[in-house]
Structure 1
């Protein structure tokens, strides 16, 4: 969406003020002071985000920004980045695009943030993509698997973060083909870009004609028994799910009521075991989710050093909120922004922040280092396979790199924890 009318009026007023200021200058051009960088003071850096803190998407996802805020509190308590503390302004958009436009405009024009970080959702973030590009605001680490964000020629300021939906679909399909040769593979996904992306990834590996059955749901539904009856009638043996956590729980529970227990292969957005336990209860989850396969790209496991640090931060700075995969996502995003800010220099600007991300020097904290560049603004293109065994969700040693639908097994190369998880400048 283009800049709102009030933006144009404010821009005109700012231009007029700048012209008057220049007219009053009596010194040489080289002596004029540079305009201050929005969101940067001598001791703080202010950034913002839009998140669904209320509404239908709030369950689970509202925990992301809380975890990011907790990580920044930890950083600030330990001296900040290059001597500056990070102020993180979280605005609720209730997952409604019109509200997203309003809160992001407020963050940019009234709060004058340095950057927008981890704005969540494809339909919501899409409405502010052009606006942020026009304003030159760094649009960092967008929380959506859409390919839209990875267009450096159109959006040089925008960077994705999570694995693209097509990447996850392709990885799940590849693992299914390898582990269950000859099985009837089906797809059940959300009826939007999320489910479409998962399906596209599966088709890239298997071909559309090899998928036994495809069914979809909408987030307004409370009953998916019709769709699951169709999958059961088609004798689906492996079901690849493009579902959010609530619908993953609803799906496996409904299938169990039908006395149907196929194999579940689930995208990262709907496979967080602690969250699913919250929906299903421990005993039911232990029975229905045993053997569940999913993909992930961030640290998560009982013995992982990043997980241990994030649990500590969660206990101390997040009021002991439940520790889930969304906690890890939120803190990992916080770490990556801190890493970018450290690399942006002692006097960060919007331009130096974007240059820091494009430099290729940022590693993140995933199972492989990130690979941003001036021609690649995507996040994780490599994902690992996780399985649930005896109530423990952990990586099983299979890792795939996905490029243009081509899936290649690679070795994981986890980024080590250094300096207490606080990037140094």
Structure 2
């Protein structure tokens, strides 16, 4: 498995304001992209304090987070390293104890810190523990300078913690007493709690929180709360088709999206109860959603295709350029900006795909990063770098079997991970 960093070597003629991603300069920004560096976060010499066998094995990268000049790849095994883009070297590992398995990462831009959620072998991997560490401390190689979060909460499975970047909130659920709590992401102060054993699911939308309760045969109770103080803004029952499974219920701004098995998509305007239906043959249940609240659009992922819809349930566009690499793909190898989708797609090459940058509104391909050869054997293997964690440059391999992709808008860099078979090496590559 490998993690790759992809970027174009731009001349320093752009100000920070100009570096924000825009449609007009997309082709130029990605025109001369090419492989620059590779890194291997695996720790064969045992410098990382790991004792669990699973932590010592190579595994694929399941998440990539970037903050300033640091890239954090999280492996399926639970190992997470921090790499500096300035020195091109590994700074440290984030695992602080021999039995820590990191499950998720979240960059908290509200206070410039990284939140790590972990489980531990000493606890039979049954409870989530969270901590916050300033990016500045990680840059100094001090990952142990952080502090624990939500220590008063019992996060034993099926308890959880969820981060809402849009509203700047954290939601925790304690299965021990069926209590949900909302915290402020700026200072982790507890704002309010929700104690109701009938709540089945909670979802966020800008300014509001959707509470979905245990369904009855013919309806499901719904509440919409203010995200700031938990005040109930609206409470109602949404009618359902009896004995039909609910595929999903989603809140999209003022619209409630409800889909039942083999039924039409229902779009309810919660302000005036106006109901719109979209034929089940036009809108089939997707495997994943991405909501673009500012554009009032949402993306659906189904099989290997991406489609764009508006809040009225109208199909805005389909992407013209190629299929997603993996069937029933989630969003791990897709990155969404306000105007564009950056995704790994099927190509005409036998061994590698391409990274396509596509206009969300038109479906037109703005730029494409392709392999320079359709034969991996054409590349020079080179030799290992003397720098810790660094490897030789191989342009073609950076586009093989990518399973995770992240676009750093601040630095105009794309970071990707690919699955290498049979070697299963983890690499970092800068394109």
TM-score by length of 1: 0.26
TM-score by length of 2: 0.26
